[in-house]
A and B are shown apart, each in its own frame.
Chain A
Amino acid sequence: MSQSTVSCLPPKMSKAKKVLDEARETGECELDLVEKGLVSFEELPGLFNMSNITRLTLSHNKISLINPGIANLLNLEILNLSNNQLRELPVSLSSMPKLRILNVCINRLDNLPRGFGAFPVLEVLDLSYNNLNEQVLPGNFFGMETLRALYLGDNDFEYLPKEVGQLKNLQILGLRDNDLLELPREVGDLARLRELHIQNNRLQVLPPEVAQLDLLSNKSVMKMEENPWVNPIAEQYLLGISHVIEYLKTDTYKIIYNRHMQGGRSGPPPPKADKSKKASRVRA
Chain B
Amino acid sequence: MMYSKAEVVQAINMSLGAMHCTRCADGFEPNEKIVNSNGELWHTQCFVCAQCFRPFQDGIFYEFEGRKYCERDFHVLFAPCCNKCGEFVIGRVIKAMSASWHPQCFRCQLCAKELADSGFIRNQNRALCHECNAKVKAEITGRYVCQKCHGLIDEEPLRFRGEVYHGYHFNCTACGTELDSTAREVKSRPGLAANDMNELYCLRCHDKMGIPICGACRRPIEERVVTALGKHWHVEHFVCAKCEKPFLGHRHYEKRGLAYCETHYHQLFGNLCFVCNQVIAGDVFTALNKAWCVHHFACSVCDTKMTQKSKFYEYDEKPVCKKCYDRFPNELRRRLRDAHENTMKKNV
Main secondary structure of the interface of A (DSSP, over half): loop
Q: By the criterion CB–CB under 8 Å, are A59 and B324 in contact?
A: yes
Q: By the criterion CB–CB under 8 Å, are A34 and B302 in contact?
A: yes
Answer whether residue B148 sits at the interface, using C-beta atoms and an 8 A cutoff.
no
Residues on B with beta carbons closer than 8 Å to the beta carbon of A279: 329, 331-332
Q: By the criterion CB–CB under 8 Å, are B316 and A176 in contact?
A: yes
In the complex where A151-B316, A195-B289 touch, is A57 in contact with B332 (Cβ < 8 A)?
no
Residues on B with beta carbons closer than 8 Å to the beta carbon of A153: 316
Answer whether residue B216 sits at the interface, using C-beta atoms and an 8 A cutoff.
no
Q: By the criterion CB–CB under 8 Å, are B289 and A60 in contact?
A: no
Q: By the criterion CB–CB under 8 Å, are A219 and B289 in contact?
A: yes
Q: By the criterion CB–CB under 8 Å, are B267 and A148 in contact?
A: no
Answer whether residue B342 sits at the interface, using C-beta atoms and an 8 A cutoff.
yes
> Which of chain A's residues has its CB closest to B327's CB?
A60
Residue-by-residue, is A189-212 near B (CB-CB < 8 Å gives 1, otherwise 0)? Answer: 000101101011000000000000
B304 contact from A34, A83, A124, Cβ within 8 A:
A34
Q: By the criterion CB–CB under 8 Å, are A278 and B289 in contact?
A: no
Residues on B with beta carbons closer than 8 Å to the beta carbon of A278: 329, 331-332
Answer whether residue B301 sits at the interface, using C-beta atoms and an 8 A cutoff.
yes
Residues on B with beta carbons closer than 8 Å to the beta carbon of A103: 300-301
Question: Number of B residues whose C-beta is below 8 Å from A?
Answer: 26
> Which of chain A's residues has its CB closest to B320's CB?
A82
Residue-by-residue, is A36-80 near B (CB-CB < 8 Å gives 1, otherwise 0)? Answer: 000000000000000000010101100000000000000000101
A82 contact from B263, B270, B301, B331, Cβ within 8 A:
B301
A100 to B278, alpha carbons, bound, how many Å? 13
> Which of chain A's residues has its CB closest to B290's CB?
A219
A200 to B342, alpha carbons, bound, how many Å? 12
Residues on A with beta carbons closer than 8 Å to the beta carbon of B346: 225
In the complex where A59-B324, A199-B339 touch, is A221 in contact with B303 (Cβ < 8 A)?
no
Residue-by-residue, is A106-145 near B (CB-CB < 8 Å gives 1, otherwise 0)? Answer: 1000000000000000011010110000000000000000
Distance (Å) between the CB of B130 and the closest chain A CB?
A: 76
> Which of chain B's residues has its CB closest to A34's CB?
B302
A194 to B264, alpha carbons, bound, how many Å? 11
A124 to B300, alpha carbons, bound, how many Å? 11
Q: By the criterion CB–CB under 8 Å, are B339 and A60 in contact?
A: no
Residues on B with beta carbons closer than 8 Å to the beta carbon of A124: 275
Distance (Å) between the CB of A80 and the closest chain B CB?
A: 6
A171 to B332, alpha carbons, bound, how many Å? 25
Among B302-348, those with CB < 8 Å from A are: 302-304, 316-317, 324, 327-329, 331-332, 335, 339, 342-343, 346
> Which of chain B's residues has its CB closest to A279's CB?
B329
Among B259-293, those with CB < 8 Å from A are: 263, 267-270, 275, 277, 289
Answer whether residue A177 sits at the interface, using C-beta atoms and an 8 A cutoff.
yes
By Cβ-Cβ distance, the 10 closest A-B pairs, closest first, are: A279-B329, A57-B303, A82-B301, A34-B302, A59-B302, A174-B316, A277-B331, A219-B289, A60-B327, A59-B301
